[in-house]
Amino acid sequence: MDGIIIIDKPKNYTSRDVVNKLNHLLGTKKIGHTGTLDPLATGVLVCMIGKYTKLVNLVTSYTKEYIAEITLGISTDTLDITGTILEEQKVNITKEEILTVFKKYLGKYLQQVPIYSAVKINGKKLYEYARENKEVKLPSREVEVFSLELLDFQDNKITFKTKVSKGTYIRSLISDICSSLNTIGTMSELTRTKQGNFFIENACALEDIENNHYQLLKAEDVFDYPKIEVTNDMRKKIQNGAILEDTFDIKDKVLFMDQNNCLAIYEKKDNYLKSYVQL
């Protein structure tokens, strides 16, 4: 089995839990996902099956869209509502203050990686340091926030939609927003609604997989790269991963098609096209 399945990850499942479940339901161990979601989070988890596992890094690099909820007046060690409460306080902020702070975070900024994450320092995951109560210097990474839209603000709850670059931690973004509001808060809900061309509207539940009611997507269904039908002369070269001259004026990548099925994805390198993955 080769292809892509979009899962609507349920709450209280890790992304690895979902993959393990799919391994069992689909009868294959060759499955990978394209971006971890915390157990608290729900929404789009793109799973690559068979030969498509070679495309995991490509899809992981796509921008992501989320709807998140902040509960104000509480801070936790994990930066989300599942953690241990460290502090509580009364909050008094306005919608106008929120909108002003949101504008501040549009664009690129340096974000600190949360301690409860799987990022490795000296070969050890950060959350392992946290569980052992060991101090470690948290790394920072440049991320980009493309949009921040306030959806709702009532009592001590802020709901917003955001589109961000690869590597952005929404928990950390929320912590930074609260700091700029001179208050405290924690992430209490999170749904990934989109990743690249993968939408939550097209996602299926694990129960759908159990009932054999799902769509196995192919490269030609989801990638926006140019599609070129191969000639008889090209077919064998492409199947063997041969380097081709770029006579097609390709900008980035191209899908080589054989009777409407994707044979391979090639990418532009200088004036040549080189095999990215054989499908």
Residue 139: which CATH number? 3.30.2350.10
Q: What is the pLDDT of residues 162-191, one digit of tens each?
A: 999 999 999 999 999 999 999 999 999 999
Q: Is the pLDDT of residue 125 over 90?
A: no
pTM for the whole thing? 0.92
Catalytic residues: 38
Whether residues 15 and 105 fall in one domain: no
Whether residues 132 and 160 fall in one domain: yes
Domain that holds residue 120: 85-183
Whether residues 89 and 178 fall in one domain: yes
| The total number of structural domains that make up the chain | 3
Show which of 157, 183, 209 is a domain's final residue. 183
Q: Is the pLDDT of residue 128 over 90?
A: no
Q: What is the pLDDT of residues 89-119, one digit of tens each?
A: 999 999 999 999 999 999 999 999 998 888 8
Q: Are 30 and 54 in contact (CB under 8 A)?
A: no
Residue 251: which CATH number? 2.30.130.10
Query: What's the pLDDT score for residue 90?
Result: 95
Where are the alpha helices (H) located in the chain, listed in sequence order?
A: 15-26, 56-60, 95-104, 126-131, 170-180, 206-210, 219-222, 232-239
Query: What's the pLDDT score for residue 129?
Result: 86
**Mean pLDDT, range 29-35, rounded to an integer:** 94
Q: Are 190 and 170 in contact (CB under 8 A)?
A: yes
Whether residues 174 and 109 fall in one domain: yes
Whether residues 93 and 172 fall in one domain: yes
- Report the alpha-carbon distance of residue 177 to residue 197 in Å, rounded: 28
Q: Per the domain annotation, does 72 fall within a domain?
A: no
Whether residues 12 and 58 fall in one domain: yes
